[in-house]
Structure 1
Amino acid sequence: MTPDEPSTQSLSGWGRTIQRTAQVRRPAFEGGLIGTVLAEPRITVRGAGKSYGDAALPSDGIVLDLTSFDRIVSFDQGSGVVVVEAGALLKGVIDQTLPVGWTLPVVPGTERITVGGAVAGDVHGKNHPGAGSFGRQVLWIALLKSDGTITQLSAGHDADGFWATIGGMGLTGVILRAAIQLQRVDTGWVIRNRLRTHSLDRTIEAMQALAVRQELDPRRHAIAWLDAHARGPSLGRGIVDEFYGASTSDLPGAVAPFPQRRVGGTRQRRSLPGPGVVSTATIAAASAGRWHFSRSSNSQLVALRSALCPLDRAESWPAAFGRRGVVQYQFAVPRDAVGTIHEVLTFLTDHGLTPALTTLKNFGPGSAGPLSFPMPGWTLAVDLPARWLHHPRTLQPVDKFVAGAGGRIYLAKDAVTDPELIPVMYPRLRTWQLTQRRLDPAARWTSALGTRLGLVA
């Protein structure tokens, strides 16, 4: 597809559970972008397409692909403020800034999402208790509204519009550029401490202890992998990893402070035929092997980017689940609702839905964004073969566990949540909708997610 030329394409989310054929426009210049916006009545904004579900898929109208807008506009090496176009990948930003001692303070499990997508999903990393989510690092946003005008939003100028856009799933307008405050680092390495636990209670205790340290240090990351296949008292046994920044004095003499970034393949692998290779048997074998062959250890030197972005070493992960793809169900609950984690894991295993991957992270204070996902407490993510979810209501009991505990699901990854529970999970939804309609009186912005969950008309 040449710039500005429409093309009919088959699109999906990263999980490959939903396919949509749509007309895609990929303007190369701002004038063409504005012209497209004014000409089209219904538009879904799309970046790198790494949302698991249908957040970047259309319900109707065209898809606006922003990946041509990928420049780093400016980078002040003194203050660490970078201004980036929305279609730039986080990878590109880190490639340019890390070798001179700056990096993005918040990075999710992949660098291969766009800056606009990171803002729209208000993504989080493994250091949320200290650093907060991505939106906390954003100084201002240039937003193209549905009337073709561009406005600059910040916490001091139209704060309601700013926070509605952060976590707003691309439904307030086209994010054109963002100014981001970077974080100083001494090296491109971290030190990993690993603890193997024997039960969910021990895993929770270890993560609680790490949360206290994380609150004091935004550079401290923590994540736990859980063995959801284990039964009885062993359910939720796991591997808890803590990462913190390495100084130059921590490096052996032959190790460069900033390692060369190995260029990985970005070609999307075809889904394996039929059910793929992920099954109850392979999940059981992989889970047991991972837990038994891991050992508690301290002070292992690991490249920062490898530690924070494991998904970039697993581009073939969705393909392994076969033609139906993978659903990632991620939820957050308050700290005192930790029992919900056990409740959810027990439900899944009792119903033959043992996750292929289960991870637990700490969350700190949430943001002012009405649709921002993080809340003080816990977040659990489980990867399930989509073919196991025979009915749209298969996970409805889990939705109810989460909502009843005062929790919520992650919109950026959702494909299955009961729409009736969204106002319960997001009690500021009505506030967000009022701001969204002010920014988009033409009702131009849409998505399959926004329509399915009743976020927009």
Structure 2
Amino acid sequence: MTLEHPGLQALSGWGRTVHRSTPVRRPTYDGGLVEAVLAEPRITVRGAGRSYGDAALPNDGIVLDLTSRNRIVSFDERDGVLIVESGALLRDVIDQTLPLGWKLPVVPGTERVTVGGAIASDVHGKNHPGAGSFGRQVRWLALLRSDGNIVQLSPGQDADAFWATVGGMGLTGVILHAAIQLRRVETGWVIRNRQRTRSLDETFEAMQSLAAQQELDPDRHVVAWVDAHAPGASLGRGIVDEFYGASTLDLPGSVAPYPEARTAASRWRRSLPGPGVVSRATIAAASAARWHLSRSANSQLATLRSALCPLDRADSWPAAFGRRGLVQYQFAVPPDELGVVRDVLEYLGTHGMTPALATLKNLGFDSSAPLSFPIPGWTLAVDLPARWVHDSLRPVDKLVAGAGGRVYLAKDTVTDPDLIPVMYPRLANWQHTRHRLDPIGRWSSGLAERLGLLA
């Protein structure tokens, strides 16, 4: 592909609500990457394209696809420091390091995101109260600035620029590679304890009890599926899953400490015609079946990867929502604002928008990154057919913002832009640092333009 005649490619976010036909460039070496950057006035940086909305889609300009820059540069087995190019998938990192007794400390619901995307979104896992988000695991990163210069950033070397890049949604420059601190692990298995709850209050109580244990153990992962369709006092009943590392003593004699990777390749599946198969009737039936067929049980053995990355078993999930796709609305609120979670579930139900999926997680400490999503408290993520949404989530935005909460930018497609400075009170500080790194305004995205992040 030449620089003079870049081809057009049809792209969308993972939720398939936003589509663009845009020039795409995929430089594989540093010189070509710098040349591509200096040749274009407006650039959107893109990794694996797993953000739900328009975070990796342009309003104008070109897309810089980094997935071909995917080498693992080095791995020190003594101290667990991995140096990797930003286009490598977390899956590739896990494939290489888990059999050696090391794991990524933080993994989101899918391992099919790039290292650069994980840093730029500052992704979190189900163990945030103990481990924090992905950016806390980064020792340093190399950033290509809009002027073509490459700088190394770390918490001790231009910390403002480092933390502006962590969670900065690809708007400070191109992350070329990074050094990630891994954690030792005895096996590639976990023990799962499951508790079925009968109300939202029971779900909250179970999650709060486990949060205290998570704060002491960064390897303890907790997530709750919440039944948003159950009526009356049963609203919010759920299934609370806790996972912690299995030792070799926990494994039957015939089980290898590190199971072979069986992750299928990601495949694009066409959206089902019209509204797809997700409807109020199918949501009601699936929710009831899931709760009734689940049982509380302890000491169930599962692979680490299947426990932490359930999205990778549901590659066709967005296709099921039909031509207009799905909106995932994820928000966080402080510990004492549990009532907002209930209010949001009730609002969605009374307005005919019962989620097809609702999950609740504990969050721990705040981040040094101004645009990082996690705050101490709770996060609820709901999957909704896009055809139901329009502007009908604006009252939810106000509830979240009024409680001192925020929405997750990596998932966003619908948030009221006027509330972003309220949700992210350090936005102006981030904008100041971003302008220092990109004074000519080369980096952009549909998300940045829609929400006014670059003002």
TM-score bracket for the superposition, by shorter chain length: over 0.9
2:261, 2:140 → 1: CA distance? 29
Contact in 2 for aligned 1:3/1:28 (Cα 8 Å): no
The Cα of 1:361 is off from its aligned counterpart by 0.1
Q: 1:215 matched to which residue of 2?
A: 215
Q: 2:404 matched to which residue of 1?
A: 406
Q: Select the residue among 434, 446, 449 that pairs with 1:448.
A: 446
Q: 1:334 matched to which residue of 2?
A: 334
1:218, 1:58 → 2: CA distance? 37
Contact in 2 for aligned 1:6/1:26 (Cα 8 Å): no
Contact in 2 for aligned 1:187/1:247 (Cα 8 Å): yes
Q: 2:81 matched to which residue of 1?
A: 81
Q: 1:64 matched to which residue of 2?
A: 64
Equivalences for 1:116-195 in 2 at 5 Å?
Answer: 116-195=116-195
The Cα of 1:231 is off from its aligned counterpart by 1.3
Q: Quick check: 1:425 aligned with 2:423?
A: yes
Identical amino acids, percent of aligned pairs: 75
The Cα of 1:7 is off from its aligned counterpart by 1.7
Q: Deviations over 1:117-151 (max 9, x none)?
A: 00000000000000000000000010000000000
SS at structure 1 position matched to 2:434: helix
Equivalences for 1:314-333 in 2 at 5 Å?
Answer: 314-333=314-333
1:430, 1:455 → 2: CA distance? 9
Contact in 1 for aligned 2:3/2:36 (Cα 8 Å): no
Q: 2:265 matched to which residue of 1?
A: 265
Contact in 2 for aligned 1:4/1:27 (Cα 8 Å): no
Q: 1:91 matched to which residue of 2?
A: 91
Contact in 2 for aligned 1:3/1:26 (Cα 8 Å): no
The Cα of 1:396 is off from its aligned counterpart by 0.1
Q: 2:275 matched to which residue of 1?
A: 275
SS at structure 2 position matched to 1:254: coil
The Cα of 1:266 is off from its aligned counterpart by 1.2
SS at structure 1 position matched to 2:35: helix
Q: Quick check: 1:6 aligned with 2:30?
A: no
2:314, 2:63 → 1: CA distance? 27
Q: 2:298 matched to which residue of 1?
A: 298
1:64, 1:140 → 2: CA distance? 22
SS at structure 1 position matched to 2:336: helix
Q: Quick one: which amino acid aligns to residue 150 of structure 2? A: I
SS at structure 1 position matched to 2:332: strand
Equivalences for 1:366-445 in 2 at 5 Å?
Answer: 366-389=366-389, 391=390, 393-445=391-443
Q: Quick one: which amino acid aligns to residue 399 of structure 2? A: F
SS at structure 1 position matched to 2:425: coil
Contact in 2 for aligned 1:4/1:26 (Cα 8 Å): no
1:42, 1:380 → 2: CA distance? 34
Q: Quick one: which amino acid aligns to residue 119 of structure 2? A: V
Q: Deviations over 1:285-339 (max 9, x none)?
A: 0000000000000000000000000000000000000000000000000000010
1:345, 1:7 → 2: CA distance? 44
Contact in 2 for aligned 1:3/1:27 (Cα 8 Å): no
- When the two structures are superposed, what TM-score results if normalisation uses the length of structure 1? 0.99
The Cα of 1:354 is off from its aligned counterpart by 0.2
1:195, 1:421 → 2: CA distance? 37
The Cα of 1:81 is off from its aligned counterpart by 0.2
In angstroms, what is the RMSD of aligned CA positions? 1.0
The Cα of 1:155 is off from its aligned counterpart by 0.4
The Cα of 1:6 is off from its aligned counterpart by 2.3
Equivalences for 1:30-45 in 2 at 5 Å?
Answer: 30-45=30-45
Distance 1:340 1:2, change over 3 A: same
Contact in 2 for aligned 1:4/1:25 (Cα 8 Å): no
Contact in 2 for aligned 1:5/1:26 (Cα 8 Å): no
Contact in 2 for aligned 1:193/1:298 (Cα 8 Å): yes
- When the two structures are superposed, what TM-score results if normalisation uses the length of structure 2? 0.99
1:340, 1:2 → 2: CA distance? 52
Q: 2:353 matched to which residue of 1?
A: 353
Q: Quick one: which amino acid aligns to residue 133 of structure 1? A: S
Q: Deviations over 1:53-76 (max 9, x none)?
A: 100000110000001110001100
Distance 1:2 1:443, change over 3 A: closer
2:367, 2:424 → 1: CA distance? 13
How many pairs does the alignment contain?
A: 455
SS at structure 2 position matched to 1:60: coil
2:408, 2:5 → 1: CA distance? 34
Q: 1:364 matched to which residue of 2?
A: 364
Q: Deviations over 1:7-28 (max 9, x none)?
A: 2011100000000111111111
SS at structure 2 position matched to 1:155: coil
Contact in 1 for aligned 2:192/2:302 (Cα 8 Å): yes
SS at structure 2 position matched to 1:319: helix
1:144, 1:239 → 2: CA distance? 44
1:225, 1:137 → 2: CA distance? 27
Contact in 2 for aligned 1:86/1:115 (Cα 8 Å): yes
Contact in 2 for aligned 1:4/1:32 (Cα 8 Å): no
Equivalences for 1:189-268 in 2 at 5 Å?
Answer: 189-268=189-268
The Cα of 1:271 is off from its aligned counterpart by 0.3
Q: Quick one: which amino acid aligns to residue 276 of structure 1? A: G
